Amino acid sequence: AQSVTQLDSHVSVSEGTPVLLRCNYSSSYSPSLFWYVQHPNKGLQLLLKYTSAATLVKGINGFEAEFKKSETSFHLTKPSAHMSDAAEYFCVVPVGGYGNKLVFGAGTILRVKS
């Protein structure tokens, strides 16, 4: 069965410093993978998606993620954190293909200090 594990429940960074949110996946084949962000009182928003076209995926708001099959990882990064990045981030794997059932990781709360 496909699953994702987010390695940190909370990450705290200072504004202007890099962000790293870690996600490992478990799958018998190369899956599609997504990162979603959830701001308080707002719907989940798709940050970026990997669908096997390119291992380095660029998303919105300066975020990117690299699919590493050898490490079964799909870590989310951003070179310089902004206060508005403070939110909860979910690594997600679709079961049965993109748009069908989604399996969510436990989430990582990102705190950005001024």
Partner 1 sequence: GAVVSQHPSRVICKSGTSVKIECRSLDFQATTMFWYRQFPKKSLMLMATSNEGSKATYEQGVEKDKFLINHASLTLSTLTVTSAHPEDSSFYICSASPGTSGSYEQYFGPGTRLTVT
Rg for the chain (alpha carbons), in Å?
Answer: 13
55: its two tokens: 């291992």
97 binds partner 1 (CB under 8 A): yes
31 binds partner 1 (CB under 8 A): no
What minimum distance in Å lies between the beta carbon of 70 and partner 1? 25
**Of the candidates 64, 32, 31, 30, the residue with the CA atom closest to the CA atom of residue 47:** 64
8 binds partner 1 (CB under 8 A): no
Nearer to partner 1, 59 or 105 (CB): 105
2 binds partner 1 (CB under 8 A): no
Residue 101 CA: distances (Å) to CA of 7, 60, 96, 104, 109: 22, 23, 7, 10, 23
96 binds partner 1 (CB under 8 A): yes
List residues near partner 1 by CB under 8 A: 36, 41-46, 49, 90, 94, 96-107
